Structure 1
Amino acid sequence: MPRPTRVLVFAAAASGSMAALAQSAPGTCQVSLGYVAATLPGAAPVPGLTSFSMAVLAALLGGLAWHSQRTRRGAKTWAVALWASAGLLGMQGGDGLVQAVRAAGPYEFNNPAGGTVADAAIPYASPAPLLTVTNTSGVSIRIASNANAAETGSCAVGATLAPGSSCTTAAVCAAPPPPAPPPPAPPPLQLLSVLTEPTAACDMTQPLYVKTWTLGLNSATYTIYPPRLATAPTFSPSDASVTTSIAYTQGPELIANPATGGAINLDQAAAGVLTVTALAPSGYAFDANTPPSTVKTWNLPYQQCWTARFNQSF
């Protein structure tokens, strides 16, 4: 490919890159402000080139020089120098590819020669976010372009900012982000059926307490016992890891007749209620109600959990 053609390809590719940088993805907002040094008071405005345009122009001149003077001695060296100058110019101004898209705020006009303040990844908001841009370049600047064509704020095209002053501009927002997909529906619960009901009995190995009364030469000793789970519940399907726990409520404390030493409320003191609770594992339930029940409870009465020993002297 001839050298001039390569120069034109470079310029076109650079222009395409700049256009791509100005786009914002769906669900985001973007801001892009071009600025130049403001005209001195009393001086006629002079049209100028942005740094990127100067880079492209220098590149084209280099290609032209290469083509027109390729037969002269030292032409190649001169063209290479022009290419290097074009690269340096392209990296100096804010319009250069390197500085075209800056990091997210704080946003600043920081190049005395002018440039572009751009951010294409601002989080989406409605209404569009209002951004503040501060002139930190040390010179007065003029807004040369604004991606928001309907801008009516202080960063409108043509506005001039003194050093240290700020202007505001509304970001341009693409379509809002698509709604998050609904969470997947949980799998249907598998119902548990009871194969064996629980039963209660007395735990005669661990006394709750012992009471002894003495009347003269005679004495009586009563031992009260707690309940136990005699038969644990079983369920279908049998491979479901159902957790079972027990608790109980005991009767009143045993009291005696002071005249005889005999127990007054033995039946009540040796009785109570054993509560059995079954907890279904994840993915299971005991019924199909709404909401389904994942806990099943049995209240089992127990009684006669006592023993007595009597000592009599004749």
Structure 2
Amino acid sequence: MHRVVVVANDDVVPFDLSVPIEVFGRARLADGRPAYQVRVCAVTEEVRAGAVGVRIPHDLSVLAEADTVVVPGVADLAAPLPAAIREALATCTARLVSICTGAFVLAAAGRLDGRRATTHWAAAAELARRYPAVTVDPDVLFVDDDPVLTSAGAAAGLDLCLYVVRRDYGAAVAADTARRCVMPLERAGGQAQFIAYEPPVPAGHGIQPLLAWMADNLHRPLTLAEIAAYASMSTRSLSRHFRDQTGTTPMRWLSRHRVRRAQQLLEQTDQPVERVGALVGFASPTAFRECFRHVVGVSPRDYRAAFPPPAVN
């Protein structure tokens, strides 16, 4: 039987703690036997988990027997990681899985250095800032950089745990586990579709007035030459300054913010999908669909189905 050990740090996120217990605990083989043995360990006998305290039955010594170690998210990213957990994870030979901000725990133990990883979209920039040796992908639901796997926020932990079941025991066992958990085996898209709209003009940028002008003119078919003319720069100079201060090109910035504005319109209005694309400056419905899918991970129609506008009474 595959042995899963969940490490409960103090201030563990209750949902993240419950996800691996539920998913792996519900998995059954074809003959009905449990697919996993699940144990929970911690440094102390009780940990805080949101509004409750949770008594933990095992200490860190059970990590030595684990085939898979799961690290749930923690609520306070500023809290220091206990040395015992850091050392245990640093030397652990089991497969490692993190849920949501549990990626910060793995990163603090040095287990994400040189690897691709993800975490909750709201914490992705901070993970990249603190741990520059980690390649952070904020748009996906989970990353498999075997033997280390990381998931995005909240429900993405369910996706990752089901993916692990599928890797371990195949599609049939994973599908049965998904039914037991009353959730789909796979979800379309990545966590980009759940990202709240970032401010169109990041504070503190030297080209902030230009970004504000671009945000106000998303509906227009702007060209690189027109943007450079407004900034009183050559196109080459504009591209260099823009990349230095935003990390991307003017046209990619424009496309991404057009998509974010389209998300708002799809959620908040009943405008037809093709009309939404035109309102945010895309030259054709095809260009809109392709760019939207590239940024968000699903089509505009699927996005609206997931986040429909409020019904009018």
TM-score (norm: length of structure 2): 0.23
Identify the structure with the greater strand proportion.
Answer: 1
Structure whose alpha-carbon radius of gyration is higher: 1
Looking at both structures, which has the greater relative contact order when contacts are Cα pairs under 8 Å and sequence separation is at least 6?
A: 1
Higher helix fraction (1 or 2): 2
